[in-house]
Amino acid sequence: MPERTCNVGFIGCGALMNTQHIQNAHKSPVCTVHTLCDINPAALESTAAKFPPVKTTPDYRTLLADPDVDLVVIAMNPAMHAELALAALDAGKPVYVEKPLGESVDEGLAVARRAAETGLQLAVGFNRRFAPAYLDVKPLLDGREGPLLVYYRIADHERGSRRDTVRLHVEVCHVFDILAWFTASEPVSVYATQGLHNDNTVTVSFADGTAAQVLSSGRSSLEAPKEHLEIVWDHKQVIVTDFIETRFFHVPGMPPLKRYRGRSYLGSPDDHVEAFASKGLDYFLALKKRVSDAWDDKDAGRPFDKPLTEYPANYLGDKGWGFALDEMARAVLERRPAANAGAAEGIRASAVASAALRSIQSGNVERLDPSLWRL
Ligand SMILES: NC(=O)c1ccc[n+]([C@@H]2O[C@H](COP(=O)([O-])OP(=O)(O)OC[C@H]3O[C@@H](n4cnc5c(N)ncnc54)[C@H](O)[C@@H]3O)[C@@H](O)[C@H]2O)c1
């Protein structure tokens, strides 16, 4: 354990920072919430009130100029990620930047080159690599005889401005990263189709022969599981649902069913934390149904028996956000490479998303050249 904690500066005090990174750092034995930055005074003030004592500034340059800040976390509009990551590296700060690293492969490459030139650590927020449910699966695949066959569904009820994002770049990039992590192989070709608006199917082929089918939708029901992962290999199979339950079939040493705890959140009911581990998916789906009903009533202007604030601020399964940030903070304190996804992996996910968009236009299988992200 390092002798001191890592002073973390947070740029952007929006939804993700409030529900994950800042409160995870607040609870972490390796992090100190040192400085918060947001151009929105209300967001800055309300976030700072939850994590005293903390410095605040509306200007990210002030945060970057502070010699006491050891690590900068960036989570804002994806269009600003690359610019802010470059500014942080130029200021001599290691960076944990949310996905996507850039809006294009070229933006990601610029950040990767600067990180290499400065020798500073840079992590991309592909937190699923640290999800307890996925960490149980990963070692089962190492040393396998044949390639994987994978199905991954990532489907959500998108609201507001999220409906307007390019889902393949902003959300499905998580899946493109985790597929490469599971296979430990490089994606070599992509074929994608476009349904209504942001709905897609994407087939990704890997150098080792692995084939993955991804189904992505922003028009799913909030009541349904959001993420379903199914992997078949060597006459074995796993099915992971929303990071809460995993079913293992014909996998020596693993139980038929394993359930995972949730995470607790400040100022929010946390009955779900242990209930996820004891009751699993049924409890989770009942909770999702209550939240979905509440949103329906809110959207329709109907009264609801409880305000939305009485629901857990984040009732999702543990997707590894806290462990991912802790690993980066430890790596900074110990001056070693972090186990997180780095710039190359950020570019790779963008390259797969871009190839999927090209495939939709061309109707063809689009080839990928891994030398693009292996700098
Ligand atoms: N890894 C994950 O699981 C996950 C989940 C959700 C979102 N994200 C990523 O996190 C990012 C943020 O998402 P969000 O939902 O929290 O967004 P958000 O809109 O709620 O928050 C963004 C914040 O950045 C602030 N901001 C904008 N310009 C700024 C500037 N120049 N300086 C300082 N602050 C500025 C805004 O005022 C806002 O408070 C997105 O890029 C998204 O892709 C990741």
Q: Give the pair of three-digit tokens for residue 213.
A: 């089918």
Across 12-155, the runs of DSSP E, i.e. the strands, are 31-37, 55-57, 71-74, 95-97, 122-124, 149-155
Closest ligand 1 atom to 43 CA: 39
Query: 351: closest CA among 35, 65, 108, 163?
Result: 108
User: Closest residue (by CA) to atom 18 of ligand 1?
Assistant: 14
Query: Can you give the pLDDT at residue 206?
Result: 98
Query: Can you give the pLDDT at residue 163?
Result: 66
Q: For residue 74, how far is its CA from the centre of ligand 1 (angstroms)?
A: 8
Q: For residue 325, how far is its CA from the centre of ligand 1 (angstroms)?
A: 16
Find all residues with CB under 8 Å of 257, minimum gap 6, and list them: 245, 246, 247, 248, 280
Q: For residue 362, how far is its CA from the centre of ligand 1 (angstroms)?
A: 32
Q: Give the pair of three-digit tokens for residue 207.
A: 């150098």
User: Closest residue (by CA) to atom 6 of ligand 1?
Assistant: 16
Ligand 1 pocket test target in 98, 156, 227 with most atoms within 8 Å of CB: 98
For the four alpha carbons of 357, 361, 363 and 365, in that order, the dihedral sign comes to negative
According to DSSP, residue 230 is labeled E
Task: Find where tokens 């770049």 sit.
Answer: 169
Query: Can you give the pLDDT at residue 145?
Result: 96
Q: For residue 21, how far is its CA from the centre of ligand 1 (angstroms)?
A: 11
User: Closest residue (by CA) to atom 30 of ligand 1?
Assistant: 39
Distance CA(118)–CA(113), nearest Å, equals 9
Residues with CB under 6 A from ligand 1: 11-17, 37-40, 43, 60, 75-78, 98-99, 125, 127, 170
Task: Find where tokens 């149980």 sit.
Answer: 136
Across 104-162, the runs of DSSP E, i.e. the strands, are 122-124, 149-155
Closest ligand 1 atom to 125 CA: 1
Closest ligand 1 atom to 17 CA: 16
Q: For residue 11, how far is its CA from the centre of ligand 1 (angstroms)?
A: 9
Domains of the chain in sequence order: 6-127+320-339 (3.40.50.720), 129-316+353-359 (3.30.360.10)
Give the residue ranges of the chain where pLDDT is below 50: none
Closest ligand 1 atom to 174 CA: 1
Amino acid at 235: H
Q: Give the pair of three-digit tokens for residue 337.
A: 């490479």
Task: Find where tokens 């790779």 sit.
Answer: 348
Between the CA atoms of 160, 166, 167 and 168, what dihedral angle is there, to the nearest 10 degrees? Answer: 180
User: Closest residue (by CA) to atom 5 of ligand 1?
Assistant: 16
Query: Can you give the pLDDT at residue 264?
Result: 87
